[in-house]
Amino acid sequence: MRACVPLIVAILFSLAWAGKLDSCASRCDEKFHRDAACQCDRQCPRHGDCCEDYEHVCTGEEGPEEPEPILELEEEPVEAPAGHLYSAPSSCRDRCHEAFDRHQPCHCDARCPEFGNCCTDFESLCGHEGFSYSSDAITKEELQSISEKIYRADVNKAQKADIILNSQNRISPSETRDQVDRCPEPLFTYVNEKLFSKPTYSAFINLLNNYQRATGRGEHFSAQQLAEQDAFLREVMRTAVMKELYGFLSHQNRYGSEQEFVDDLKNMWFGLYSRGNEEEDSSGFEHVFSGEIKKGKVTGFHNWIRFYMQEKEGLVDYYSHIYDGPWESYPDVLAMQFNWDGYYKEVGSAFIGSSPEFEFALYSLCFIARPGKVCQLSLGGYPLAIQTYPWDKSTYGNGKKYIATAYVVSSTR
């Protein structure tokens, strides 16, 4: 019987990894798995079978760009069963203030209550250490409730007659690397551009030409461009969408005043950091909404207005899509493949028909409540998940992190 154990373990691993998506998320330094689509062990560079995101997920040489959208909601972590081969400590004894370690079955850092992965004795052993725990944690149910309120408050969204979408051919996830244009016609057949005269749309569009898309080239804002950032924040804060968000976060004791909230939004979204060399060449807003080019690939670019305007100018060529959301009205979600002026985007998820304040609110909510985690929301009764990542190489204020990216990863369970 003892001799069968290795065989049983091997079979279980094979079954678990069969059909896995080709990402190194939660797989760094694992052993070679024959049935996995690609590998994340330290020998994979030598053998040429690493997953595409191995370099920036596992080597630490890159910032957290995008293990681009998985479009399947990650399973919630489960506790290791009794007798599991890995026997890391399951207690916070002598571990309070310990840095997060993904190999541990439970955690004792200051943010573990927020992510729901604390050891069971965290409160009793670490509560006296000055941690702020249960009162600061935002629950999944609270996130779903506030996202529904934001969804209902989006009065500036496109109506059915405002957009005619021509999604054409849908492909399987395995075909996204082919870089084949399977859609001869543009994605947008018609957009009612009267939408763009609304204050938040107009202020948003004014920001899109303020960036150099190539990373490694420093961004330098003029006084006019800085004023446009302030104007955008001012306009979105006047909307019911952002009033809902601020009211929720204020109730959660995240911000003491609306001005504190606005100042933090400006830093986390518009603060500059370096994705390339020493130049401050990027920001959360540029990456998510305007799009960037790094190492010959499109990164970010998750906004329908930007896509429409670039497609109208002949700079974007829509190739195909792998996901179309269940919503029968706007906003909807589409995950697509496209070429942006010579550079390919393998999977780019975007809300379609949403107002700028709607996207800005949901991405901000998820970054504040679940930074670096899958954020489970609800829109019109349908589940939706957003993934955010913080920029870990530089900070602002009292150690706060900038937004590295934010995008829709799933709309199904």
If pLDDT is split at 50, 70 and 90, which confidence band does 18 have?
Answer: very low
Helices 199-207 and 356-369: angle between axes, nearest 10 degrees: 70
β-strand 400-410 against 292-294: which pairing, if any? unpaired
pTM, two decimal places: 0.71
How far CA 64 is from CA of 27, 57, 68, 109, 393, in Å, comes to: 15, 7, 11, 21, 10
pLDDT of 303 reads 98
Most confident of 73-87, 99-113, 116-130, 215-229: 215-229
What does the pLDDT read at residue 71?
A: 46
Q: Would you place residue 289 in the very low, low, confident or very high pLDDT band (cuts 50, 70, 90)?
A: very high
Domain boundaries, the chain: 4-58, 140-410
More confident residue, 147 or 45: 147
- The mean pLDDT of 152-181, rounded to a whole number, is 96
| Per-position b or e across 239-265, b if 16+ CB within 10 A of its CB | bebbbbbbebbeebebbeeeeebbebb
Cβ contacts of 265 within 8 Å, gap of 6 or more: 233, 364
pLDDT digits (tens, 9 = 90+) for 169-210: 999 999 999 999 999 999 999 999 999 999 999 999 999 999
- At residue 88, does pLDDT exceed 90? no
User: Is 84 a residue whose pLDDT tops 50?
Assistant: no
Task: Indicate the CATH number for domain 4-58.
Answer: 4.10.410.20
The reported pLDDT for the residue numbered 56 is 57
| Residues with catalytic function | 287, 302, 345
**Range of weakest confidence among 285-289, 326-330, 392-396:** 392-396
Q: Which phi and psi angles does 320 have, rounded to 5°?
A: 180, 180
Q: Is 74's pLDDT higher than 60?
A: no
Among 48-57, 130-139, 337-346, name the one with the lowest average pLDDT: 130-139
- Answer whether residue 4 shows pLDDT above 60: no
